[in-house]
Amino acid sequence: MSGGSFYQRDRTWHPPAFTPGYKTSVTRSPQKALIALDNTLSEMTGPVFGHDMIGELDNDLIRNFAKDGEPIGQRIIVHGRVLDEDGRGVPGALVEFWQANGGGRYRHKKETYLAPLDPNFGGCGRTITADDGSYRFRTIKPGPYPWPNGVNDWRPAHIHFSIFGLGFAQRLITQMYFEGDPLIWQCPIVATIPDRAAVERLVAPLDMANTVPMDARAYKFDIVLRGRRSTMFENRMEGN
């Protein structure tokens, strides 16, 4: 995993900055071209967080905010691997996630949706990937919710993910969607991604093999971060 600069980002695969169907992007998108910068140490290095930072319940959203009971909703396990573009697991990666409750309501001061808060649900969690890049957490399946974009736009059920790789150039925030949700294909935020294949990669399939009978269903969500070139030091190849 150590080595040289990261593979160039394919910006035809990612959403462009200006996507007028998602209205807020209109005034928040740079109009000038990005300036290409072949990675220096400032981009190839990045913070790494130790497992000792993670509390026992950090990856259990069913219990980490529970007051006098457990949250209401469909109990699910979300698991997968953080990989690089060469298919190698990324160990030690901090993965943070946040979401609305079972009724589509976020616990945030600026949120005004009329669906109620769940007194036993906070909506945040985090974990650090294992040696093979795997991670997992337990939560409630979030509900869809309306938002003021078009007059009648609804977000599909989704979980936000923030991932740190080993270099700051790998920094990524994305969203996970759920298999079979018809709202995915109507959502202006999903539609900022130009390529349907790229969207499909953000849709987590139901994973019956990892369910807990009479307890929780499971969804599998793999995340791919940028890969990196090998560096040559004298005659020795590094990074392969």
Contacting another protein within 94-133 (CB under 8 A): 96-99, 106-111, 122-126
Positions 190 through 209 that interact with another protein (CB under 8 A): 190, 192-193, 195, 197-199, 201-202
106 classed as catalytic: yes
158 classed as catalytic: yes
Q: Which of 22, 106, 135, 219 is catalytic?
A: 106
CB burial string 200-235: b at 16+ within 10 A, e below = ebbbbeebeeebeeeebebbbbebbbbbbeeeeeee
State phi, psi for 116 to the nearest 5 degrees.
-75, 155
- Residue number with CB closer to another protein (173 or 209): 173
Query: Is residue 124 a contact partner of residue 97, using CB atoms and an 8 Å limit?
Result: yes
Q: Which of 136, 158, 226, 228 is catalytic?
A: 158
Identity of residue 81: R
Residue 190: strand, helix, or coil: helix
108 classed as catalytic: no
145 classed as catalytic: yes
- Round to whole Å and give the CA distance between 73 and 62: 10
Positions 144 through 173 that interact with another protein (CB under 8 A): 160, 162, 166-169, 171-173
Among the listed residues 80, 101, 76, 78, the one whose alpha carbon sits nearest the alpha carbon of residue 90:
80
Positions 6 through 65 that interact with another protein (CB under 8 A): 8-11, 13-17, 19, 22-32, 34-49, 55, 57-58, 64-65
End-to-end CA distance of the chain: 8
Positions 171 through 190 that interact with another protein (CB under 8 A): 171-175, 189-190
155 classed as catalytic: yes
Query: Least distance (Å) from another protein to the CB of residue 213?
Result: 29
Binding-site residue total for another protein (CB under 8 A)?
A: 89
Query: Is residue 108 a contact partner of residue 159, using CB atoms and an 8 Å limit?
Result: no
- Positions marked active-site: 106, 145, 155, 158, 160
